[in-house]
Amino acid sequence: MKKLYGVLGNPIEHSMSPLIHNDAFKRNGIEGDYLPFLVEGAALGKAVEGLKAIGAGGFNVTVPFKESVIPYMDALDPFAKEVGAVNTAVIKDGLITGYNTDGPGFVRSLAPLINGQFAGKRVLIIGGGGAARGIYCAMAKTGIERMDIANRTLSAARQIVADCHDGTPSSVLSLEEAEKSLAIYDIIIQTTSVGLSSLHESPISLMGIKEKTVVCDIIYNPLKTKFLREAENNGAIIQTGVDMFVQQAALAFELWTGISPDCERMRQLVLENLGG
């Protein structure tokens, strides 16, 4: 019998997770079905209980439930606990365990761009929301030299450093301060919602970056944000949000099935779906 998987979110109709997971199930000969579930906030607990009751194999959690789903987990993976957000749940023997594959997915997507050399790298994260938190905590474990964080609201960024600090030297900056010191960074990661569904917005100007800076945006719609276009114009090596999306999905698939899916195929499916 087919095992049920899915993604809980609101809105959810544009999620590409069903596309790539169903394809990966098929290609790996796994009897699985992955569906999008539109959940009203007040019904989140019932939705989770329902999936558990019918013997689902697991599910993803997306905006806006990554934090509010935590009380419905029976157990939390230590990294998800540190980040305070769950995007993947595994249901086994009637118990639900919450994981966070967003941050580790980002790290895996970044590794090939820097030949796996995290040591000695200076990193700037822009943003202080849930995505920044996951990426900060995962990047802090890679041995990078320093990781600063710039956000419109300084207190949110300070809280991330306080919660996730792994001994990596780190300063909290305003967006204006960050803009003036861009040349010191080897890697710049854009995690805010600025530029989402808009070709004309960017959280900061990238005029000041040095050549060959690796510049990543976690947004993938539009595929090339204004932020990335400006980075490219200033000589950066860029990465769109598609790679992080694919890697977080691949890690979730591995947790559910023990099988590493074909990430390049997942990537192509996402790009085709985005019309690129």
Binding site for ligand ATR (CB under 6 A): 127-132, 151-153, 156, 191-194, 203
CB atoms within 10 A of CB 38: 14
Min dist CB 87 to ligand ATR, Å, is 10
66 catalytic per annotation:
yes
Taking the C-alpha atoms of residue 139 and residue 146, their distance in angstroms, rounded to an integer, is 10
Residue 240 has phi, psi (to 5 degrees) of -80, 175
Q: How far is the CB of 28 from ligand ATR (least distance, A)?
A: 30
Decide whether 91 or 172 has the Cβ nearer to ligand ATR. Answer: 172
Residue nearest to ligand ATR (CB): 129
Name every residue whose Cβ is closer than 8 Å to that of residue 43 and which is 6 or more positions away in sequence: none
Taking the complex as a whole, the smallest distance from the CB of residue 67 to ligand ATR amounts, in Å, to 9
Three-state SS letters, 73-99: CCEECHHHHHHCCCCEEEEECCEEEEE
Q: Give the nearer residue to ligand ATR in terms of CB position, either 28 or 68.
A: 68
**Token couple for 20:** 């790539």
Nearer to ligand ATR, 194 or 214 (CB): 194
Q: In angstroms, what is the minimal distance from the CB of 66 to ligand ATR?
A: 7
Q: Which is nearer to ligand ATR, 24 or 85 (CB)?
A: 85
* Catalytic residue chosen out of the listed positions 2, 3, 52, 66: 66
The per-residue DSSP string of 247-276 comes to: HHHHHHHHHHHS----HHHHHHHHHHHTT-
Catalytic positions are 66
